[in-house]
């Protein structure tokens, strides 16, 4: 009886831990779309922490970000094996017409659960257009505060990006993936970029690079 009770308690503690791990804070910025943005990056526990870095379409981190080990290319930027809408970029002419990450390839969903996803490029554009952006620091970390019309805000650290084995330009720039494929170049994904006082919502980054992910709450 005692052993059974201990097992039940251990199971309850484990269950609570799993549930709590899936509970992440979000902020209502009063955006027209109603999009709710996470208060910190995927892989972080606090707004000022950099968190993890992901290649576009990959859901786990790694030590080396190269085309050679990118999940959806056969070793080169013009040999894509998924998310390709142009023959010249596909492996042996492969195309599938997919222009948005499926949930199985969405780093936010894979790491935080089904209530979360990576933002579309339209949601990033709305965040930039409808919020006031202020270059600032949080706990000594450089970044931007995006403040909505309702006065609430989120902080995005200048976490830099991973190229190969190196973390580049941390403290100076921010690169945040969307779930949207590059419009004309399927070897690139769309992302939010800020650097030296400039914030631009629509940029194309090579998919093998390790960028930050800031999740949004998914609609039912």
Mean pLDDT for each consecutive 10-residue tract of the chain (220 residues)? 43 33 84 97 98 98 98 98 97 97 98 97 97 97 98 98 96 98 94 94 96 87
Task: Dump pLDDT digits (tens) for 5-45.
Answer: 443 434 333 333 322 335 799 999 999 999 999 999 999 99
Task: Dump pLDDT digits (tens) for 122-140.
Answer: 999 999 999 999 999 999 9
Q: What is the pTM of this model?
A: 0.89
Q: Domain ranges for the chain, please list them.
A: 43-217
CA distance from start to end of the chain = 43
Contacts 24+ apart (CB under 8 A), 63-69: 63/165, 64/164, 64/165, 65/162, 65/163, 65/164, 65/165, 65/208, 65/209, 65/210, 66/164, 66/208, 67/208
């Amino acid at each position: 009886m005692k052993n059974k009770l201990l097992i039940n308690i251990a199971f309850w503690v484990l269950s609570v831990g799993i549930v709590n791990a899936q509970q992440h804070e979000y902020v209502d910025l009063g955006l027209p779309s109603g999009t709710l943005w996470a208060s910190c990056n995927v892989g972080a526990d606090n707004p000022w922490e950099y968190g993890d870095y992901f290649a576009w379409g990959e859901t786990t981190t790694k030590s080396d970000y190269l085309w050679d080990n990118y999940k959806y290319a056969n070793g080169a930027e013009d040999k894509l094996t998924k998310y390709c809408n142009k023959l010249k970029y596909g492996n042996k002419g492969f195309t599938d017409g997919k222009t948005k990450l499926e949930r199985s390839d969405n780093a936010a969903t894979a790491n935080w659960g089904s209530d979360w996803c990576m933002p579309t490029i339209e949601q990033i554009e709305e965040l930039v257009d409808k919020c006031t952006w202020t270059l600032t620091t949080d706990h000594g970390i450089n970044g931007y505060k995006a403040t909505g019309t309702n006065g609430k805000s989120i902080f995005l650290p200048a976490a830099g990006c991973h190229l190969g084995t190196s973390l580049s330009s941390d403290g100076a720039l921010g690169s945040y993936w969307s779930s949207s494929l590059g419009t004309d170049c399927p070897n690139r994904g769309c992302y939010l970029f800020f650097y030296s006082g400039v914030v631009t919502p629509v940029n194309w980054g090579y998919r093998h690079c390790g960028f930050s992910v800031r999740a949004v709450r998914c609609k039912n």
